[in-house]
């Protein structure tokens, strides 16, 4: 499909620079088939059925943005995928000043050797020393806010909490599964009391999620791989929900992509551990999920293509036009939506 079909105009003032407070006070656009209703996230239990199950991503964002020097050249690095105990693939700013084997000093006694430049322009950074890389990043790195926020304000101490979900447990993401930022212990308790369960899986979100689609046609776009895991016990419980008549509602496109990667043609979710580069565009047949909680996405992005695959392009164009007109807040710190294609 032509990528320009997924374009739309978004006023700059629609981009949220801080999350709602409290988190579950964020607005929620409910889209059922072609019908729309304005709600807030705290109402979510009223919009689902007893027996449904929400599926969250429990990845934890690491301080994956680094600033350093190679000689006199300033080098910026955003880690996006782990490739070994001490090695991370990274997108590099000022990469033209970098050569294979160069040593980068990131401050706080943190050093890395650059090698193996990829076709996408990324570099492999191998961190020196014996300390766990996670400790080095805590010392030298900062929270990797999305570029559309970072361009408008600097990262600060609030982001260390604001950009983690209540489920964040498994370190390894360089971007938050932002749909889950709307959830609070109080909201989870209301959902539980309404007979709505929840499960977690792990997908370490990479910085590739922010990369623009540069191809003119979706068939020419290559997704970056991300590592994920669903264990056997979780897969069994998820399959039991659907077998019992409940619906699986992915919270975030990351959870959805991993669930769809783990499901077979028979719609059964199987244990999964490894990389996925699944790219969902209109015409895709969903196998694992029945609905999605998600934020509002970038024009011409793979994520807007995904929600258009679930609900239909015309429906999502109308939903986004409504959201813009009604003053919804967009992107990572913005408001949310509940998308139910069959309801």
pLDDT in tens, 201-242: 999 998 766 667 889 999 998 888 899 999 999 999 999 999
The H-assigned helical ranges of the chain are 44-47, 133-140, 147-150, 159-162, 185-193, 232-243, 253-262, 302-311, 313-325
Report DSSP letters for 64-98, one per residue: -EEEEEETTEEEEEEEEEE-SSSEEEEEEETGGG-
Q: Pull the structure tokens for residue 57.
A: 């991503």
Q: What is the per-residue pLDDT for 210?
A: 64
Q: What is the per-residue pLDDT for 100?
A: 95
pLDDT in tens, 275-332: 999 999 999 999 999 999 999 999 999 999 999 999 999 999 999 999 999 999 999 9
pLDDT in tens, 63-75: 999 999 999 999 9
Between β-strands 336-340 and 291-295, what pairing exists: parallel, antiparallel or unpaired? Answer: antiparallel
Cα dihedral 23→205→337→51 (10° resolution): -90
Which residues, 6 or more positions from 13, have their beta carbon under 8 angstroms from its beta carbon?
none
Q: What is the average pLDDT across 7-15?
A: 95
What are the chain's domains? 3-61+161-340 (3.40.1780.10), 65-141 (2.40.10.240)
Residue 119 scores a pLDDT above 90: no
The reported pTM is 0.94
**DSSP one-letter code for 30:** E
pLDDT band at 343 (very low <50, low <70, confident <90, very high): low
């Amino acid at each position: 499909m032509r990528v320009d079909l997924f374009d739309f105009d978004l006023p700059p003032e629609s981009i949220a620079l801080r999350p709602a407070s409290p988190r579950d006070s964020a607005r929620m656009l409910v889209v059922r088939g072609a019908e729309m209703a304005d709600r807030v996230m705290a109402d979510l239990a009223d919009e689902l059925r007893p027996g449904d199950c929400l599926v969250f991503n429990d990845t934890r964002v690491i301080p994956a943005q680094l600033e350093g020097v190679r000689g006199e050249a300033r080098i910026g690095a955003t880690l996006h995928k782990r490739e070994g105990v001490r090695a991370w693939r990274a997108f590099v700013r000022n990469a033209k000043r970098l050569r294979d084997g160069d040593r980068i000093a990131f401050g706080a006694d943190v050093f890395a050797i650059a090698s193996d430049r990829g076709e996408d322009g990324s570099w492999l950074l191998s961190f020196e020393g014996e300390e766990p890389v996670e400790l080095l990043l805590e010392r030298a790195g900062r929270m990797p806010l999305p570029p559309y926020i970072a361009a408008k304000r600097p990262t600060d101490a609030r982001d260390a909490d604001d950009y983690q979900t209540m489920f964040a447990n498994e370190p390894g993401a360089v971007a938050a599964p932002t749909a889950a930022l709307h959830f609070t212990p109080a909201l989870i308790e209301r959902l539980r009391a309404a007979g709505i369960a929840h499960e977690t899986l792990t997908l370490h979100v990479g910085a590739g999620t922010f990369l623009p689609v540069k191809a003119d046609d979706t068939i020419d776009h290559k997704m970056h791989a991300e590592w994920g895991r669903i264990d056997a016990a979780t897969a069994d419980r998820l399959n039991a929900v659907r077998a019992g008549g409940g619906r699986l509602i992915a919270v975030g496109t990351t959870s959805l992509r991993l669930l769809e990667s783990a499901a077979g043609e028979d719609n059964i979710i199987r244990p999964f551990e490894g990389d996925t580069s699944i790219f969902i565009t209109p015409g895709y047949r969903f196998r694992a999920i029945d609905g999605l909680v998600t934020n509002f996405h970038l024009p011409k992005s793979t994520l807007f293509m995904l929600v258009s695959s679930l609900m239909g392009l015309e429906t999502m164009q109308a939903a986004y036009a409504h959201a813009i007109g009604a003053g919804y807040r967009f992107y990572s710190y913005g408001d949310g939506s509940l998308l139910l294609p069959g309801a």
